[in-house]
Amino acid sequence: MTERQGGYCVAMTNFGYTLMTEQSGPRELVRYAVAAEDLGFDFEVMSDHYSPWLTEQGHAPYAWTVLGAVAQATSRVGLMTYVTCPTLRYHPAVVAQKAATLQVLAEGRFTLGLGSGENLNEHVVGEGWPAIQDRQDMLAEAVEIIRALHTGDLVDHRREYFQVDSARIWDLPDEGVDIGIAVAGERAIEVFAPLGDHLIGVEPKPELVSDWNAAAPA
């Protein structure tokens, strides 16, 4: 982010805090979120997992319930899922409704962070684990559905991976819901830069940013 001061562009850095659902229970996460806001953090992201990475971590609360509580307990920080997979464990129509409701509660502070998922969390519904190209194609179709539902229109959708029958979201935020997409690699950038509002980099590589900006619509 840049801010113009006295004729010069000054780079501004935003600092975020990660709410780790694998390491803490829901009540602790809300307390940490409030403390992070009080300490001056600019935004907070929350992992959305069904299982912890290691059994020793011992936690995996439902991220969306916790984020709703965080939205009410805080007033300034930006909030984001980091990241939600809207293809297997969640149907994209359900993610669209959850994101809209959370944005209403957060009064415009929420960004929907999406990704193609990990087997650790998505296998629990028994639908198998598709190859990466299939998962990326599923995610692209899911983003299309979420965007359509966030218009408030009645949506019917029948394509390769998903079906939506006469769905409408009734409580929509005035601000809309920005979508960030996690990417790593050239194909992911090519597919998702035109679809997302924000890049979520999974590696500290500056070329991810430059390639995303080059592929994103003007």
**pLDDT surpassing 90 at residue 4:** no
pLDDT-derived band at 190, boundaries 50, 70, 90: very high
Q: What is the 3-state secondary structure (H, E, C) of the chain?
A: CEEEECCEEEECCCCEEEECCCCCCHHHHHHHHHHHHHCCCCEEEECCCCCCCCCCCCCCCCHHHHHHHHHHHCCCCEEEECCECCCCCCCHHHHHHHHHHHHHHHCCCEEEEECCCCHHHHHHHCCCCCCHHHHHHHHHHHHHHHHHHCCCCCEEEECCCCEEEEECCCCCCCCCCEEEEEECCHHHHHHHCCCCCEEEECCCCHHHHHHHHHHCCC
Q: Does the pLDDT at position 128 exceed 70?
A: yes
Q: Please determine, for residue 3, whether its predicted confidence score (pLDDT) is greater than 60.
A: no
Which of 28-32, 68-72, 162-166, 186-190 comes out lowest in average pLDDT? 186-190
pLDDT digits (tens, 9 = 90+) for 68-108: 999 999 999 999 999 999 999 999 999 999 999 999 999 99
Q: Is the pLDDT of residue 52 over 70?
A: yes
Active site residues: 49, 118
Domain residue ranges of the chain, discontinuous segments joined by +: 2-215
**Percent share of the chain, pLDDT over 90:** 90
Domain 2-215 falls under CATH 1.20.1090.10? no
